[in-house]
Each structure stands twice: as C-alpha cells, then as structure tokens.
Structure 1
Amino acid sequence: MRLPTLNFLSFESRTRHPAALLWFAAFIALQLLAVFALVRYFFRSTWDQQVSSGIGAIVLTGLVCSLLLCFAEYFFHRYLLHIETVRFLRAFCTSHLTHHKLTSIGFDDGTKTVRSKYPICDVARDDKATFPPWGLIPAFAAFTPFFAPFAFSFPHIPILIGGYAAIAIALFLYETVHVAHHLPYDAWWKPKLNNRTFGRVWRAAYGFHQAHHANYRCNLNVAGFFGIPVADLLFGTYKQPDELLLDGAPATKEDARKLTPQPRWPVGWLDRVVFKRRRWMSKRN
C-alpha cells in the first residue's frame, strides 16, 4: 500500500487513504511526544515537578491554555492570514488568500444568485487549504518564550505539559474542522442538516464558515475553544447567513453586506491600527 504524503489531510491523501485522519492524528501525537521528550531530557527537574502536579492540574492547565489559544487563533487569522502586517510572515497571508480565492463565495448581480466554489472537490481547489506538515513546530516555538519563564517560575503548574498539548490539540482541531467545512454539500453536509436531532447544530456549523468565505471580517475562529467560536461571540464578529450560500441559491451582494460585523473593543480599534500600518507598508513599497 502506498503511504500518504505528510500532508495527510490534502484532498489527494484523503481520497486515496481512508485512514488519512488517523495518520494525521498520529503525526501530531509524535511531534508532541518529541517535545515532551526534549523537555524531560534537558529540564528533568522541572519536568518531574510538572508531572507530580497530577492529572487534574494538567487537564485544568490544558483547558486554560486552550481558551487562550482560541483568542490567539482569532487574532492570527484576522491580522496575519488576511492582512499582511508582518513582512516575514507574508507567506502565510499569501497562502491563505490563495485558499480563499480558490474557494470563494461571490454574488452574481445579473442573476441575483450565489456563485460558490466553496466545496473542495478536487486537487485544484485544495491548494493551500491546509497548513504545511511542519506547521506544529513553529507553533510550539512561538509559545515557548511564554511557557518557559512561567514554567521555571512556577514549576508546579504544568504549563509545559498542558500548554504544548493544548497547541497540538488546537492545530489538530483547526485542520480537521476546516477540512470538514469544505466537504461536498450533497454527499456530506446535506444528510447531517436533515437530521431531526442535530440538524440545527450542523446548519450553524456549515453556515458559520460559509459566511467567512463570503465576508472575511466575520467568523475568524475555526478550532475555537473545542469547536465553540468564543472569540467571535465575545468580539461581536459571529455571523450566520439567512440562507445557506449554496451555488445557484438566490442571493445578492446585500446578503454579503449583512455579514459585515461591527466588532467590539479592542477589535474595532485594532482594525484601525492594522489598516493604518498596512497603508504605511504599501507606501514604503
């Protein structure tokens, strides 16, 4: 059997390998275990104190970190993936905007209908839909300057175990939930939306990310807090379309404008700061 590439959740990998999701989970777990092994090897005393804190403290620390990561995801998505604000992270922005272009949801003024390329049904639309396979490594590295001083100052709080585990879980959820959002409507989503018990929940989940592809200013959480878009709810950027934005469905650009949020502080203020910086960067170029 041919093994999948390291991009386990690509359209090609998922189509050829039914166990691609399990491969991806194992790949994430191996990277997490490698980080744990490094911490244990180089900082054995701190590691032992963190382990001795007990499973309850580890789980609680992981939950707190997961909540904080929900907001980190929100700001990363809003201000780095959709707007080029940091030059050396330009590749992330370019890649993400390519994904939005390939899976765009637009509106035809002539026919007053939706023009959607949202479902990922082939390799072409799948381009840039996932982070690189090595994406977890820079995520670990980015949070280490925050985790390390905390761990050495308060060694009995298992920030290294709970924090790194929360990052791994967040990336796993981001990638898998995002893949699910873009699965074909008729084959995958429609039966779930017709479910009598959970149909409304599935409808909210599907409409949530559809709205983001129609108007990028709303619905920035993907993984959120275990699937709950806490940051969007808190900052007032949570939106749902009146009707699902399916290809050919009746709709106008006014429907897209309805999805434009009026974000609460500090997001509204940060928007102005970031757009001002972006204009400054454009002038320098």
Structure 2
Amino acid sequence: MSPSSDAARPGAHTTSPLPLRRDLRADCRRCRGLCCTLLGFTRSADFAVDKPAGTPCRNLAPDHSCRIHDSLHGHGYAGCAAFDCFGAGQAVSESAAHRGGQADPRRMADQFAAARRAREMLWHLREASTLTYDPDTAERIDGLAVVIARLAASAAHPTEVEPLRPDVRALLADVSAEVRVRYNATGEPVGADLAPGADLAGRDLTRDRLCGADLSGALLIAADLRRQDCTGVDLLGADLRAAQLHGADLSRALYFTASQVGAALGDARTLLPPDIPAPAHWVR
C-alpha cells in the first residue's frame, strides 16, 4: 500500500496552500442531503427511477441520510454509488446553516456545483503537488490553489470556476508526464492503442503492460484489468464503469477518485490509495 497523497514524498514539493485530502472527502453525516435533492437523474442502468432536479429522492430519510446507502447497487442506484462531491455537500450545508434560514434552492444548487468542481480540482492538485520535483511547476500549482481554494470556500457560481479548468488540466498533464517517464525510461511503447481518450470498453487488458500509460479520458467501461499493475497510470477522467479491478494494484495510479472506484468492480485484493476506501458493493 502506498503512502497517503497527503504525505510528503522524498524530494517532492512539500509546502503548499492546498487543503489536505482528508478535508476534501464527503461526510454525508454533515450534509443536508444536497446531492439527493438538488441533482436530477433519468431512469437508466445507473438509476432505478426518474427524479427531477430540486426534488428529494424517495430514499432520503428525514435526517438527510440515505435509507439504502449500503445497498445502492442492489436497488438500482449504481449512479449514486459512483458520485463523489469531494466534501462540497457538507461545506455548502454548513455555510447555509451558519447564515441561518432556508437558502434559495437555485442559488444553493449553483453553489453546490461550483464548490464540487473547485474541490475536485483541489483534490487532483494536492496529488500533483506531492508528485512534482519541478519548483516552477510547484509554484504554478500553489498559485492556482490559492484562487481555487478561495472560490471553494465562497458562494461562487460555476461560471467563476470553469475558466480555471484548462490551467488545472495543463498542470496535471505536466506532472503526469513527469511521473510516467520514470516508469518508461526506455521509451518502449506502453501498448499499441493505450492512449488518452482511447475506446477500450470491454477490452481484455490483463496481458497489456499498463505501468506508466496515459489513459486519461479513456473509455474503460467493463474493461478487464484484473491483477494489473496500474502504477503510474494516468486515469484522469477515465470511465471505469463496471471495469473489473479484482486483484489490481491502483495504489499509485494517477488522479484516481472515489467516484471511479464506486463505478468499478473489485474485491479485497484490489489495492487502492489509502485515502480512497473500497465501496460497499465490492466482493469482500
């Protein structure tokens, strides 16, 4: 198991204004069930029913807890198991409580969306800050972190957060390249079609050498990654719905999230980063 992303690594950038990852994790006990009320969804393989935005989910209890939280997949709510607000839910809920009274639902929905996007960027930048050895890159990360953290802590609108995405993406890509080259020093091809945005849905990847591959944005729906070493694999934005991760080592995969884990399949042998817990629906 790898050390936490919050832990400093030898030689890496260690001083940063970024929040720790433990402060960017959802705590449903401190939330008013915002994702269960503000967000809408359509009946599909991921959701058992239609639910308009702004209406409480029928599984939401009076205390804002989920009645089926431990069996979402079994009840047809796989999409809920794969959702991660990065702690935006409790942050917005507590901010509303501090102001007192009932906030306007539309304004709260905008604030929740903005906070979630900002906190997701901070999640990835925190990882990048512990990986880079380049002082210039570290300085760029810190500069962005100050701006994004301020937006995450305010009643920002999504339009204020979105313009920062390209800069964050460029930084993450630079750090990804810096890290991945360490696992591919010979320049040998990682795989014939293992590339950003590749359509690998349903593919058997158990015999491919993935270590150091850039699979950012790749479609890995129902792909077979059993027992694979995913060290240094860039998974930023990769679609891992129903991907088989049984026995795979993702403890040092890059830009991996709880949302991706929640959408995938795995077991007790699957190694995850220490700040991402195994979901309830995985085979133990």
TM bucket (normalised to shorter chain) is under 0.3
Richer in helix (by share): 1
TM-score by length of 1: 0.23
Larger Rg computed on CA atoms:
1
Of structures 1 and 2, the one with the larger relative CO (CA 8 A, separation 6+) is: 1
